[in-house]
Chain A
C-alpha cells in the first residue's frame, strides 16, 4: 500500500517537473514572436529604450496604420496573390496530368523520369540563379510576374508530381475500370472520377505551392527590380534594408500581417505536411 502511494508520488513529481520544463521551453521558443508582437503595438521610442518588456507600454495601432496606408503594403499583397495564383495554376496544369501518367501507366522511361526528377530536385536553385537571370534578361522577362511564375511553377512541378503521384497510387484502379465499363471515355473518367477522388491531395499540394511562393524572397528580390512589381517578400526586404532604425516597428507590423494568413493555413494542413513532405521528398 505504502509503496504504491510512494510510486504515485514520484510520478507526480516527474509530471510537474516535465510540465515546468515544457512551459519554459515554449516560452523561450516564443520569445521572438512575443517581442515582435510587442514592438508592433508600441510607439516609436519603445523599441529603442533599454528596457525589455513583452507588453507594449502604451499600446497603439500606429505601426499598422502606417504600414497599410503610408507604405504600398496592399500593392505588395496584391502582387503576392497574383504570383501565388498564377504559379498554382501553371504548376497544376503541368503536374496533375504528369502525376496521373506516372502513377497509372507503366511505360518505358517511367522509372528514369522519376529518378531524374529527384536528382534535379537536389540541385539548389540558388546556384543556377545567374543563368536564369541571363535567360530572363535575354527574353525580356526581367521585372515581369510571368517570368517569375514560370520559374516558381517549374521548380514546384517536381515536388507536385511526386507528392500527387503518392496519392494517386492509393486510389484503386478498380473504380476507374468500373466507370469504363459503364461507357465513360478517358477524359470523362478523369474529370468525373479521378479528380474528385484526388481533390484532397490536389488541395494540399496547391496549399504547399502557395506557402512556398509566399515565402520565397531571393528570386523575388533578384528578378523583380521595379518597386511596382514587388511582392510581399520584396517589399519587406526593402523595408528592412533601408534605414531599419526608423522602420523597425513598422517592419514588425508588416511581418505580423504577412505571416498571419500563413499561420492559419499552416495549422489547418499541418498533419499532411509531415507525411507529404517525407513521402514526396525521398522515397523512390
Chain B
C-alpha cells in the first residue's frame, strides 16, 4: 500500500518538478557556474573558469559597490517595513472605529493602488508625479510659488521618491491584512477592559497588539522579503536604458541586473546573485524558525 502511494505520488509530481527544474533550478545552477568564470561581452563563448575571483571582487574590493548596495538595501527594507507597519496599523485602527459608517467606501478606495499593475503605477508616477514638466508634484510646487525640483536627480531624493511610491503601492496590502486581523479580536475583551478602567492606549497595548500579532507576523515576513527583492521601482524610475536620471542609487538586485545587462560583466553579476541567494536562504531559515516558535 505504502509503496503504491509512493510511485503514484512521484508520478503526480513529475510534470511540476520537471518544469520547476528547467525554469528555476537549472538557471540557478547555471548562474552559479557563470559566477566562477570570466564570462563577459568579450568572453561570450570563449570564457574560462577563474575560481572565486568574482566573489573576492564583490566582497573585498576597496570601493566595492556591492557592499554599499547591500547597505542601501538593508536601509530600504528596514525603513519601508517600519513605516508600513506603523502607518498601516494606524489606518486600520481608524477604519475599525465603531460607528464609522463609510468604512467600506474608504477601504475600497484605499485598496485601488494595489489593483493597478505595478509597472503601470511606476511608469505613471515617473512622468505623472515626479517629472519636471508634467508631474503633479512640480505643478503643485509652482502653484505655491516654489521652484521646480527634480525628484530623481540625486541619490537621497531619488531614494525618498522611490520609498514614497513603494509605500503607495504596498500599504493597501498591509492595511487589508491588519484590518482583517483586527476584526478577528473578540469585542468583549475591550468591554471588560473598559470596565476594569483601561484607557485607549492600555487596550491597544494589552489587547490589540497581542491579538493581531500571530496574523501579522507571517504577512510582515512576506512583505519584508518582497521589499528586499524590490527591483521594479528603482529600475523603472531611475535606470531605464537611455534615461538614467543622475541618481546612482543601487540595491543589490539592481546592481546584479546592471552588471548582467548594462556593463555585461556576467561573471561578477553571477557572483553577486549567488551571494544574495545565500543571504536570502539564511534569512528565510531564521524567520521560519522564529515564526514556528511563536
Q: Evaluate contact between A29 and B281: CB separation under 8 angstroms.
A: no
Hey, which chain B residues are within 8 Å of A248, CB to CB?
A: 127, 134
A262 located at the interface, meaning its Cβ lies under 8 Å from any Cβ of chain B in the complex:
yes
| Residues of the B chain whose Cβ atoms lie less than 8 Å from the Cβ of A119 | 281, 284
**Given B27, B97, B106, B280, which contacts A128 in the complex, CB threshold below 8 Å?**
B27
The 4 closest A-B pairs by CB, nearest first: A154-B23, A128-B27, A98-B16, A127-B273
Contacts of A236 in B (CB 8 A): 119-120, 123
B221 at the interface (CB under 8 A from A): yes
Give the number of residue pairs across the A-B interface with Cβ within 8 Å. 255
Residue A225 is within 8 A (CB to CB) of chain B in the complex: no
Interface size classification for chain B: 35 or more
Interchain CB contact under 8 A, A284 and B288: yes
Whether a CB of chain A sits under 8 angstroms from the CB of B20 is: yes
Known: A50-B142, A108-B6, A130-B31. A262 touches B284 (CB 8 A): no
Decide: A158 near B24, CB < 8 A? Known: A128-B31, A282-B222. Answer: yes
Interfacial chain B residues near A35, Cβ < 8 Å: 128-129, 136
CB of A5 within 8 Å of the partner chain: no
Q: Chain A interface secondary structure, helix, strand, loop or mixed?
A: helix
Q: How far is the CA of A185 from the CA of B291 in the complex (A)?
A: 41
Do A127 and B276 form a contact, CB below 8 Å, given A39-B128, A101-B12, A248-B134?
A: yes
- Shortest B167–chain A CB gap in Å is 10
Are B117 and A215 in touch, CB under 8 angstroms?
A: yes
Instruction: Indicate whether A25 sits within 8 Å of B110 (C-beta atoms), given known contacts A120-B24, A161-B16.
Output: yes
* B276/A215 in contact, CB under 8 A: no
What string of 1s and 0s marks CB contacts (under 8 Å) between B82-99 and chain A? 000000000100110101
Q: Which residues of A contact B158 (CB under 8 A)?
A: none
- List A contacts of B115 (CB < 8 A): 259, 262-263, 266-267
